[in-house]
Amino acid sequence: MPTASLLDVSLTISVIGTGYLGVVHAACMAELGHTVIAVDSDPAKIESLSRGVAPMFEPGLDELLGKVLPSGRLRFTTDYAQVVGADVHFICVGTPQRRGENAADTSYVFAAAQSLAPHLSQEALVVGKSTVPVGTAARLRDRLQAGAPEGVTARLAWNPEFLREGFAIQDTVAPNRFVYGVDGPSAEADVALLDEVYAGPLASGTPRLVCDFPTAELVKVAANAFLATKISFINAMAEVCEAAGADVVQLADALGHDDRIGRKFLNAGLGFGGGCLPKDIRAFMARACELGADEALEFLREIDAINVRRRSRMVDLAREQCGGTLLGKRVAVLGAAFKPDSDDIRDSPALDVAQAARTEGAVVTVYDPKAMEAARRVHPDLGYADSVEEACIDADVVLHLTEWKQFRQIDPAALATIVENPTVIDGRNTLDPALWRSAGWVYRALGRPTV
């Protein structure tokens, strides 16, 4: 891919917020040849990032930081005043689910705009990347305008991100599309400036769509709602497969050959978790309700319910395999992160299941290649082991809950000598049933026949 520097475009960029999105975006913009200053209010985070230590595990990120920091093109600060003079300011702060509600908490986005506004110049463009309820951009521009220096007209564009954890760098420097939401008299100039920011990926042929603010905001939540729907669809099929004695993996393979449907995101199992899909569909329903379009998204309630049901089904299966009660049973849990190649445990289906088994009196031991520290912090009452083998010592049942590659490489014959009962429940449908069964295991899975 040609970099921006090769294309001779180098801008000064500020990135507000150094969470998942912000850190990756800042490092990737520096990699594209721009000069980047990233701002966060957390001094500890800024100090560690300045040393090249990312606050989370993301494949390739430490290496990328190690490459761009010495170039001097990327700096981290807690001081907003240092963003003065940037051509483009990206707002990359989080929008978590509000406590006790379905709606998204946009307070960090508005706080970022408030802090940024006094430092705006006439030429600077503010670009929102956070996932927000439709209608936020228009309100945000008013907020920026209210705080901007006298004589400055605030410029705002909406440019949602579609990055997946585990592939965040690739999804930032080579996304499958750019969406620019623009509005007002500066719209044309805003598009041109964003084209300069993304000159490298655009030169490689990344499609770019220009639309208005509400459409750009909706693209992001609609995409996540669709992905969640696809996962819950196949998990609903898994429920039917369980009742009918059919195999959901073969069903998904057969469906996926129809390229109108496609095989991606049809992996049945424990369902979706993480910091995005669950909270985004809930916030989307809440916003539709505010807009009087609640009926349109009523189906997302069922998508959410199917998803949550898979977790309790997993606990039911574990109980069943333990003779009807989990009380005093040893349960080995393989996986804690909400997905592989991540140490993120936000709304992790694996930890939900582990915690539910613990609540029923099981002695639960968890192993995850990357998410142990985070899991220990949030679930101190669960047991933890340093390896798959250690987690499985004397286990009555082994639960495979996050599909790390390492777990696919387990030798079931060797593991059978460690456990009390060779019974595995595959919550992600990625272990090889024939291999496990031939090594003497009882293999159960969500949506697959018993034998």
| Catalytic site positions | 276
Q: Is 271 in the site for ligand UGA (CB under 6 A)?
A: yes
Q: Is 163 in the site for ligand UGA (CB under 6 A)?
A: yes
Both tokens of residue 251? Answer: 């069903």
Both tokens of residue 173? Answer: 């420097």
Q: Is 172 in the site for ligand UGA (CB under 6 A)?
A: no
- The answer to whether 203 and 2 have CB atoms below 8 angstroms apart is yes
Kindly state the number of chain residues that form the binding site for ligand UGA, as judged by CB under 6 A. 22
- The pair phi, psi for residue 125, each rounded to 5°, is -110, 130
Closest of 147, 142, 297 to residue 228, by C-alpha: 297
Both tokens of residue 310? Answer: 């898979």
DSSP string over 203-263: HTT--EEEE-HHHHHHHHHHHHHHHHHHHHHHHHHHHHHHHHT--HHHHHHHHHTSTTT-S
Binding span for ligand UGA by CB under 6 A among 204-212, 236-244, 275-283, 371-379:
275-283
- Exactly one of 97, 232, 267, 423 binds ligand UGA (CB under 6 A); that residue is 267
Which residues, numbered 131-150, are part of the site for ligand UGA (CB under 6 A)?
A: 131
Rg of the chain, C-alpha, whole Å: 24
Binding span for ligand UGA by CB under 6 A among 33-41, 77-85, 237-245, 264-272:
264-272
Closest of 159, 154, 131, 124 to residue 142, by C-alpha: 154
Q: Is 108 in the site for ligand UGA (CB under 6 A)?
A: no
Which residues, numbered 319-348, are part of the site for ligand UGA (CB under 6 A)?
A: 338-339
How far is the C-alpha of 235 from the C-alpha of 388, rounded, in Å?
27
Min separation Cβ 43 and ligand UGA, Å? 26
- Exactly one of 22, 133, 201, 269 binds ligand UGA (CB under 6 A); that residue is 269
Which residues, numbered 176-235, are part of the site for ligand UGA (CB under 6 A)?
A: 224, 227, 231
Which residues, numbered 363-422, are part of the site for ligand UGA (CB under 6 A)?
A: none
Q: Is 284 in the site for ligand UGA (CB under 6 A)?
A: no
Min separation Cβ 269 and ligand UGA, Å? 5
- Exactly one of 31, 40, 165, 304 binds ligand UGA (CB under 6 A); that residue is 165
Both tokens of residue 225? Answer: 């709602």
CB-based burial label for 151 (10 Å; 0-12, 13-18, 19+): exposed
Owner of token pair 């997946």: 164
Give all strands of the β-sheet with 330-334 in edge-to-edge order. Answer: 383-384, 363-367, 330-334, 397-400, 423-426, 442-445
**Cβ distance to ligand UGA smaller for residue 71 or 312:** 312
How far is the C-alpha of 126 from the C-alpha of 129, rounded, in Å?
10
How far is the C-alpha of 331 from the C-alpha of 59, rounded, in Å?
30
Binding span for ligand UGA by CB under 6 A among 45-53, 98-106, 160-168, 194-202:
160-168
Min separation Cβ 450 and ligand UGA, Å? 22
- Exactly one of 273, 335, 369, 427 binds ligand UGA (CB under 6 A); that residue is 273
The residues of the shown chain that bind ligand UGA, judged by CB under 6 A, are 131, 161-165, 224, 227, 231, 265-267, 269, 271-274, 276-277, 280, 338-339
